[in-house]
């Protein structure tokens, strides 16, 4: 589990069919390497990978064929965002990020304003779009961001990125058409499952929970009555 608060940048280099070498600068190594151990999980551009070897200034991780197919990793050398796993008791400054990306998207535009970078992304993946909602959370290359606006389908959305985040992550290297990894909010996925499938456990029925059976019935009044507002 991660927070989407990137600790630094690394350089990724594929070394064979399933292994990736990530090299860090001395500054980033000082943040990531001291507590890193074999078998630990690290989010690399938002993808949860397991450490199989530790280097003086980096590590080697394994990426399965599915991971390569579903994400942007492994095609060529690239700058990647790095975050070590969340420790119990640590601050949760972003949102819960699992490191299991739903799919990819592309940058459409990046416009610098007086206070931020407004970046618009598009995704052709329905698995991603279904969880994109205005003012909701999304992980872009492992970065916890808030959706400022989106189309009704969720296939096109805009985020506002503060200058610090832009300068300290690989968002600064993106150009229109660049691929990014996208992960929807895990809480939204569970809510969707309950609404669509119902709760099958004998002690948890829809009648006992008084939960609506469809998203259309999930109204502000219902949420207020059940303590969510």
- Angstrom CA distances, 115 to 8, 137, 160, 162, 173, stand at 22, 20, 9, 7, 19
**Is 141 contained in some domain?**
yes
Residue 170 in contact with residue 22, Cβ under 8 Å?
no
Note the pLDDT of residue 190. Answer: 85
Write out the two tokens for 84.
């070590």
Residue written as tokens 């909602």? 133
- Gap between the Cα atoms of 40 and 200, Å rounded: 35
Note the pLDDT of residue 171. Answer: 97
Note the pLDDT of residue 28. Answer: 92
Instruction: Using 70 as the pLDDT threshold, list the residues of the chain that sit under it.
Output: 74-75, 197-218, 220, 222-229
**Is 93 contained in some domain?**
no
CA dihedral sign, ordered 111, 103, 183, 171 = negative
The range of the structural domain enclosing residue 162 comes to 103-186
Structural domains in the chain (count): 3
Note the pLDDT of residue 141. Answer: 97
Query: Which pLDDT tens digit goes with each residue over 148-181?
Result: 999 999 999 999 999 999 999 999 999 999 999 9
**Is 97 contained in some domain?**
no
Query: Which pLDDT tens digit goes with each residue over 192-223?
Result: 888 776 555 444 444 544 555 555 666 767 66
**Is 135 contained in some domain?**
yes
């Amino acid at each position: 589990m991660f927070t989407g608060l990137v600790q630094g940048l690394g350089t990724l280099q594929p070394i064979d069919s399933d292994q990736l070498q990530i090299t860090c600068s001395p500054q980033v190594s000082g943040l990531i390497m001291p507590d890193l151990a074999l078998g630990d999980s690290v989010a690399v551009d938002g993808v949860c990978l397991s450490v199989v070897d530790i280097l003086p200034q980096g590590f080697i991780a394994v990426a399965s064929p599915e991971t390569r197919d579903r994400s942007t990793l492994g095609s060529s050398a690239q700058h990647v965002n790095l975050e070590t796993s969340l420790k119990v008791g640590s601050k949760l400054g972003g949102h819960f990020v699992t490191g299991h990306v739903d799919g990819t998207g592309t940058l459409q535009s990046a416009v610098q304003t007086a206070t931020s970078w407004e970046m618009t992304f598009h995704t052709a993946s329905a698995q991603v779009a279904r969880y994109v909602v205005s003012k909701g959370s999304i992980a872009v290359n492992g970065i916890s961001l808030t959706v400022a606006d989106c189309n009704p389908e969720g296939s096109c959305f805009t985020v506002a990125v503060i200058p610090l985040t832009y300068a300290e992550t690989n968002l600064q290297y993106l150009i229109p058409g660049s691929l990014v990894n996208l992960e929807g909010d895990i809480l939204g996925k569970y809510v969707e499952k309950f609404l669509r499938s119902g709760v099958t456990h004998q002690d948890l029925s829809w009648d006992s929970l008084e939960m609506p059976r469809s998203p259309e019935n999930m109204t502000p009044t219902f949420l207020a009555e059940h303590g969510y507002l």
